[in-house]
Structure 1
Amino acid sequence: MRDGDGGRNARLRRGVRVVFMALAFFQAPGAGAVDMVDIVDDIEGVTVGMLRGAYDYHLESAGRMIGAMDTDGLTSADLDRLAHRWSTATVARFEYTYVQRGRPRTVVYHAISGQEANHILGLSVPDMTSYYPVSVMDRRAMITAAAGSRLAPPEVGHVMDAEIKGFRSIEKDIVSGKLLRGGRLNIWVSQPACASCRRVASSFEDGYGVRTTIHQWMKRETPGDSPFRQLSTHRRRGGTRLRHWRKQASSLTSVRVLIAGCLP
């Protein structure tokens, strides 16, 4: 009899934990009360690691596109142009957590400001989706807005901001039913969020009942061996990595031509 009581008590405790978890995640935020956290140091490199991951997510997808196509028309100057644009672009990581069937689930969106790689390179590639990883948990932040969007319109010149892409992508997934509304959103961004992005953040929080925190990188001048400076150095090496992918593609094309020439 005591074992039965113990089992019921254990189930009750689990049920209470689930209720508290749900309350924590779905607690309604104050109107427009987006939490802003200024990052001035990152001794353990946690934030920098997140931002580096967001940058690599896009650069490696561009590399896959370059590696899969005829690269004769691409010059080193073209690749350097893409690398330079992205070395100075804003990168952001969006972590959206919601509770489904009593369990927290987190989806990560990787955002980078500006045009897509195919447009920067002037390639006749209509869509880069196939070059991005297929993953339920990691997704590309895109610029397309949801039909009937509740988000405040971004200011002129800020439509392609990394933050705008992130908010729009999560909104689309909520509207389409891929995500539950009322979750918890944490954002890490490589520079301070502008007024336009903060307004969009407030409208997102109000429109979908999402508690939102933006962790923004504030520090500009850092020692040469700091994690943030290491991130900048890593991003400046993007051109070298892109040229490596192009070289691999050219070598593969040469082998294919050689094999084809040997066939009867």
Structure 2
Amino acid sequence: MRIGLLGTGPWARMAHAPALGGHPDLDFAGVWGRRPGAAKELAELHGTRAYDDVEELFADVDAVAVALPPAVQADLAVRAARAGCHLLLDKPLAPTVAQGRAVVEAAGAAGVASVVFFTTRFQPEPEAWITEQARTGGWFTGRAQWLGAVFTSEGSPFADSPWRREKGALWDVGPHALSVLLPVLGDPRRVTAAAYGPGDTVHLVLDHVGGASSSLTLSLTAPPAASGALVELRGAAGVTTLPESSEGAVPAFARAADALLTAARTGVPHPCDAAFALRVTEILATAESLTAGGAR
């Protein structure tokens, strides 16, 4: 599969480009970016071509991987799908439900596969744990604390990201927490949210269709010493927590590429496809509307 990369920022350099360039079943065919000089630099680093015209890249590849802000990703994903490209996207899918739905509809109309890179879902130990807990069932409650120090650490490559500054932890790390809880506890039928605490800290409570409840605490403003992720489930089987992964982002992104190859070959949607990411977007948008204006 010939695949192109859209984006040249820190995440593209740290995860996407190394994974695509090192994948045995992908031909890393080119890079497009909003900054042509950065695209040229990244392309040269990985021995591929820099494109000035994104439509020309779409015409030359079978798939695209996207490492761009959500609003930019959503627009380009629609255009790429209409050009017949399979989609390897990042979370969040889009900053609004309407934009997310447009991606899902474009992919469906074009018959292209989609996979959205919820990092934890492509790391072996966490994904095995999620599968096992979904099989076990009988959960009474769950809690997730996803605390980042993006805005409090010195030298974070993501601290100056305009969309993270605008949307905060709800939209940045919220998708990670939801990607773990939803497959285990089921879809939420009610969402409550409040913006209490420092900076962008937000709290969600979900009432899941299976009867369980869950709570989420999300922040990018945690002290560095307090940062980290925790997911705990309590139920008839006892208490269990999400294990840490022994691998970083590059192997996980390579597995996401594997998933896209399989979905494109078989026509069977992956659990982390654009439709799932749209549901996550709907939950985030509901929470955002509830927290508008800060603490209440």
TM-score (norm 2): 0.24
Choose between structure 1 and 2: higher strand proportion.
2
TM-score normalized by the length of structure 1: 0.26
Q: Which structure exhibits the higher relative contact order, with contacts defined as CA atoms closer than 8 Å and separated by 6 or more residues?
A: 1
